[in-house]
Amino acid sequence: MQTDTDRIRALNDELRQHLLGGGAVIATGIAELGAEAVKRLVKTIAVFDDFCPANDPHEEHDFGVFDFEGTPVAFKIDYYDKSLTFHSPNPADPSVTERIITIMRADEY
């Protein structure tokens, strides 16, 4: 039996690994790295697996911080309603949730 946490984690992994099931935003500091670096960074986030109780206390795979070519980078997945106006009423239900992954330099967080 799959729990809500299992479903949220799977949906977050789908977005993080394949950019499916939501949208993506990059902060100015990431855009300034250039298109080729952004492509490499997206691939790095796709294979990120350093989730632990310190950075993933809810086991949802919705946040990570790591060094990317000398730049500390963070990603964060947030859950909105379909209108992108309010928080999602149920992040485990993709029919009422729009996931957005934001990629930023750690100092932009």
Residue 68: strand, helix, or coil: strand
Rounded-to-integer distance, Cα 79 and Cα 70, Å: 29
Looking at the structure of the chain, the number of domains it has is 1
Chain segment 59-78, per-residue pLDDT in tens: 999 999 999 999 999 999 99
Tokens, residue 66: 């790591």
* Domain around 44: 4-108
Chain segment 9-51, per-residue pLDDT in tens: 999 999 999 999 999 999 999 999 999 999 999 999 999 999 9
Give the pTM. 0.94
